[in-house]
Amino acid sequence: MATAYGGPDVLRIVDVDPGEPGPEQVLVEVRAAGINPADWKAYSGASGTDASRLPMRLGYEAAGTVLTAGPGVDGVAPGDDVLFQRSGAYAERLVVKAENVVRKPAALSWARAGGLLVVGSTAMHTVVATRVGSGDTVLVHGAAGGVGSMAVQLARVRGARVIGTASVANHEYLLDIGATPVAYGPGLADRVRALAPRGVDAAIDTVGTNEALDVSIALVKDRHRIATVAAFGRAPALRIQLLGHGPHADPGDDIRAAARPTLVDLVATGRIDVRIAGTYPLEQVARAHRVGLAGHVHGKLVLVR
């Protein structure tokens, strides 16, 4: 938990009784919990310092084993390994709505299971919203990041060609996941035009920079096929799709929920991957957050037990 606002030094391990599962709920023993930038943003003070929110439980995704099930639970039973999204996922045990869990295939490692759903469901929202399909050329801004790299892979699964922006240091990684890399910076639009002389059909922005927005608008004719998960300030005025849980954004809850079993199957069968940058025991959560805050992490950081 975050016991105050500030940096990772405010994080503490606190004993909390998870309670017993009620109707249509399950109690899960958590084996892995994914770390996302939203976790440290929550306690940084960037979105305010309302004292009533403290102490603040962290985490939005995890994987573990069902221990007990409440009345009315169907489709999952004690002993089943599952993935789920829920606030407060940094925990040893947690009560979760049964409708929010997805069975974990044996082929899917705990670390990948724990770090899949947030970036995966967000990326699925972007490719569905922009109607990415076979034969499309798609521009993904921030293609080496968590959501960006997943959007690249999902677009490729749908039969699209992907051009991904990233620093030169990440170009080899983009080639590995099936994207044509291009360096961001001055002249980006011309470099993309050279790579896609027949044009760009859709653009997905995961970074929120003016460059990403301006280049997308310059290259994609249909603005409804441009989506951002980061540019909350400019998106409404530009009439492009704003996705997520910020002001005026489409949360896409139905799309994201429906994506969970598909994502699990795609990773378990090797059609997409969750690159793991590092794993840490729950007791080292502050250390893991410091690594994430330092930047340049290639893949997911995951807390494991």
pLDDT, tens only, 168-205 = 999 999 999 999 999 999 999 999 999 999 999 999 99
CATH number of 8-116+274-304: 3.90.180.10
Between CA 252 and CA 125 the distance in angstroms is 7
Q: What's the topology of domain 119-242?
A: Rossmann fold (3.40.50)
Predicted model pTM: 0.94
Cβ atoms of 245 and 253 within 8 Å: the answer is no
When pLDDT is averaged across residues 156-160 and rounded to a whole number, the result is 98
Domain boundaries for CATH 3.90.180.10 within the chain: 8-116+274-304
The tally of CA atoms less than 13 A away on the side-chain side of residue 300 is 31
C-alpha–C-alpha distance, residues 301 and 155, integer Å = 23
**Tokens at 158, concatenated:** 């749908």
**What's the pLDDT tens digit per position in 40-76?**
999 999 878 999 999 999 999 999 999 999 999 999 9
Q: Tell me, what DSSP letter sits at residue 38?
A: H
pLDDT band at 258 (very low <50, low <70, confident <90, very high): very high
Pairing of strands 93-97, 161-166: unpaired
Which part of the chain has CATH 3.40.50.720?
119-242
What is the rounded CA–CA span in Å between residue 280 and residue 282? 6
Query: Rounded distance, CA 132 to CA 54, Å?
Result: 41
How do residues 271-302 score in pLDDT, each as one tens digit?
999 999 999 999 999 999 999 999 877 789 99
**What pLDDT score was predicted for residue 291?**
95
